[in-house]
């Protein structure tokens, strides 16, 4: 299994012969190394409906004939735009040909903003994602505040890598994310959702320094890959 971080909350996972991308915010993402025109994926996983997470999903899915897996309301909204979707919801899991996906709760919002129409489209509940494949479990927290049920997620899942937002303002800041890392019991913690906009500027190495003894933190630069 290969994990690659591509700036903001964009994560690519290559497993079981499939390429999966989470929250493909590419165009307009100051932190990404990706070229949209060269990007090929089989599956798109979405945590919630905010524009900086849905990103280029519709165009990317159509270009690659990729399936979008998302919470029900968001999947429905995207399906109306001609995208192949697999709707799910919090607490539910499904075994796909690339691995098992389960959506967890997240404390955040979820709505897509249509700027040209000055319209906000409600897209259901926000979520975190547990992806299990090749005997490994990856947790992508999406956008979230710290919440105590992260302890339960950690108790019930043997998490190998957790991607946690640290940007503050819209999500957990570094201090809360460090607590989340302890509660989740992940073997490796990787910070995401920072430095894309001035209001979420953070030093990821300072976050790593906040982690409790025994919690391994790793900073991935945009485009950097790790094997698991």
pTM of the model: 0.97
* Residue closest to 99 by CA, chosen among 149, 51, 134, 47: 134
| Cα 20 to Cα 153: distance, rounded to the nearest angstrom | 22
- Residue 90 is given by DSSP the state B
Instruction: Locate 13 and state its tokens.
Output: 């996972």
Give residue-wise pLDDT tens across range 39-70.
999 999 999 999 999 999 999 999 999 999 99
Give residue-wise pLDDT tens across range 69-92.
999 999 999 999 999 999 999 999
Write phi, then psi, for 176 (nearest 5 degrees): -70, -40
Give residue-wise pLDDT tens across range 86-142.
999 999 999 999 999 999 999 999 999 999 999 999 999 999 999 999 999 999 999
Write phi, then psi, for 136 (nearest 5 degrees): -120, 155
- Where does 2-213 sit in CATH, by number? 3.60.15.10
**Domain ranges for the chain:** 2-213
């Amino acid at each position: 299994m290969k994990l690659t971080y591509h700036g903001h909350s964009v994560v690519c996972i290559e497993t079981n012969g499939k390429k999966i991308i989470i929250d493909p915010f590419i165009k307009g993402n100051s932190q990404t190394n990706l070229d949209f025109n060269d990007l090929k994926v089989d599956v798109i996983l979405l945590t919630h409906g905010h524009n900086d997470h849905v990103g280029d999903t519709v165009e990317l899915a159509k270009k690659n004939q990729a399936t979008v897996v998302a919470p029900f309301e968001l999947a429905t909204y995207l399906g109306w735009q001609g995208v192949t979707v697999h709707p799910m919801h919090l607490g539910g899991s499904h075994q796909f040909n690339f691995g098992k996906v389960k959506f967890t709760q997240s404390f955040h919002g979820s709505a897509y903003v249509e700027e040209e129409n000055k319209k906000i489209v409600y897209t259901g509940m926000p979520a975190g994602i547990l992806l299990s494949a090749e005997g490994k479990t990856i947790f992508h927290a999406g956008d979230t505040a710290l919440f105590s049920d992260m302890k339960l997620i950690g108790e019930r899942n043997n998490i190998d890598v957790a991607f946690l937002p640290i940007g503050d303002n819209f999500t957990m800041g570094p201090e809360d994310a460090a607590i989340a890392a302890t509660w989740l019991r992940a073997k490796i913690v990787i910070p995401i959702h920072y430095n894309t906009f001035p209001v979420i500027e953070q030093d990821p190495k300072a976050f790593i320094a906040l982690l409790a003894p025994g919690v391994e933190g790793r900073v991935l630069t945009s485009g950097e890959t790790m094997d698991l």
